[in-house]
């Protein structure tokens, strides 16, 4: 007898409800951005710049860190989730702040967490400027904690990336993910339990790839050749289905070819074990692509020289504002 199909909603995460909350918040606070928010900053003699800020956490990937008692890379995930959002605007990361809360402070474990945050800041080319360590007895079960991160960067307004110049015929590149990154773990924890969790633990806790060096290298090369990055999308909660359309103007549709890249085995394992539908997989996980880049066709050769790992995974066409996977 086949097991019941798992979905993200059945695992406790309702993406549709979260989208409704985001819509409500954006109506109340229209300055809120997409992946990150921009705040005008006019510097005398330097032209108009924007401060860029965002915040994120690690989600229930923390539960795996608790179960496997591995805490040295979860801080990399924390930084990655914010700085990867930050660079989708074309911004240069500057500073990072962390919030670390636990019921009982364990020094050895805490040092491992902070070491991961420091490594994440190194990879993200930003400075850990401060943070908050909150010890709150009775608030968290023994051995558990929560993390949140806040990143601030800067971008010259004339070089900000907002997707507004994307047109039919433009190309979609994908940079490989290192695995699941930090999304979909409420579903993952329904699939892998006990010995299976230990067996797959290394793959499941692989830290989120940080794309700061990749995008900055591409920006530098494009600037020298007077080319522009049209759009950048960090593939997080909602997967490719939700995140790629976020950067498209109305009347534009993204078409992705699912055979254009090789997916890490962990995704197929999740789908098989959890009897998860294809649509649910693509709407929950990054499926092996962690950052999407939209460029003009005449920029392809340069982009592939700068980023050899980049794969041409699709194109933009006229149509309904959505993602189609073929």
Sequential pLDDT tens for the chain (326 residues): 346 776 767 666 676 776 676 677 677 666 665 666 677 777 666 668 999 999 999 999 999 999 999 999 999 999 999 999 999 999 999 999 999 999 999 999 999 999 999 999 999 999 999 999 999 999 999 999 999 999 999 999 999 999 999 999 999 999 999 999 999 999 999 999 888 888 899 899 999 999 999 999 999 999 999 999 999 999 999 999 999 999 999 999 999 999 999 999 999 999 999 999 999 999 999 999 999 999 999 999 999 999 999 999 999 999 999 999 99
Which three-class secondary structure state does DSSP give residue 103? Answer: coil
Phi and psi for 163 in degrees, rounded to 5? 80, -5
Could you tell me if 95 and 83 are in contact, meaning their C-beta atoms sit under 8 angstroms apart? no
Q: What is the pTM of this model?
A: 0.88
- Angle among Cα 44, 50, 52 to the nearest 5 degrees reads 145
Place of tokens 């907002």: 162
Could you tell me if 242 and 283 are in contact, meaning their C-beta atoms sit under 8 angstroms apart? yes
Ordered by where they begin, the domains of the chain are 1-31+161-326 (3.90.650.10), 33-160 (3.30.1330.10)
Phi and psi for 11 in degrees, rounded to 5? -85, -5
């Amino acid at each position: 007898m086949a097991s019941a199909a798992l979905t993200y909603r059945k695992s406790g995460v309702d993406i549709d409800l979260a989208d409704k909350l985001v819509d409500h918040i954006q109506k109340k606070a229209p300055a809120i951005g997409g992946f990150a928010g921009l705040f005008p900053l006019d510097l005398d003699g330097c032209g108009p710049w924007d401060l860029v800020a965002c915040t994120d956490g690690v989600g229930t990937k923390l539960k795996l860190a608790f179960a496997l008692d591995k805490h040295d890379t979860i801080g990399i995930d924390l930084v990655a989730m914010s700085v990867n959002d930050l660079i989708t605007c074309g911004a240069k990361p500057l500073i990072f702040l962390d919030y670390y809360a636990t019921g009982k402070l364990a020094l050895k474990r805490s040092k491992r967490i902070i070491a991961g945050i420091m490594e994440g800041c190194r990879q993200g080319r930003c400075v850990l400027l401060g943070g908050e360590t909150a010890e709150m007895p009775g608030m968290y079960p023994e051995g558990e904690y929560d993390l949140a991160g806040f990143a601030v960067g800067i971008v010259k307004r004339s070089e900000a990336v907002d997707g507004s110049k994307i047109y039919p015929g433009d190309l979609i590149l994908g940079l490989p993910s290192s695995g699941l990154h930090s999304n979909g773990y409420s579903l993952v924890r329904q699939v892998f339990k006990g010995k299976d969790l230990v067996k797959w633990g290394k793959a499941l806790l692989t830290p989120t790839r940080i794309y700061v060096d990749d995008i900055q290298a591409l920006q530098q090369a494009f600037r020298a050749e007077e080319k522009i990055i049209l759009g950048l999308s960090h593939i997080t909660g909602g997967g490719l289905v939700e995140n790629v359309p976020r950067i498209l103007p109305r009347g534009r549709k993204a078409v992705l070819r699912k055979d254009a890249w090789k997916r890490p085995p962990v995704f197929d394992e999740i789908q098989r074990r959890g009897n998860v539908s294809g649509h649910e997989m693509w709407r929950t996980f990054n499926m092996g692509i962690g950052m999407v880049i939209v460029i003009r066709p005449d920029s392809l050769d340069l982009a592939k020289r700068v980023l050899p790992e980049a794969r041409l995974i699709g194109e933009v066409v006229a149509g309904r504002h959505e993602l189609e996977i073929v």
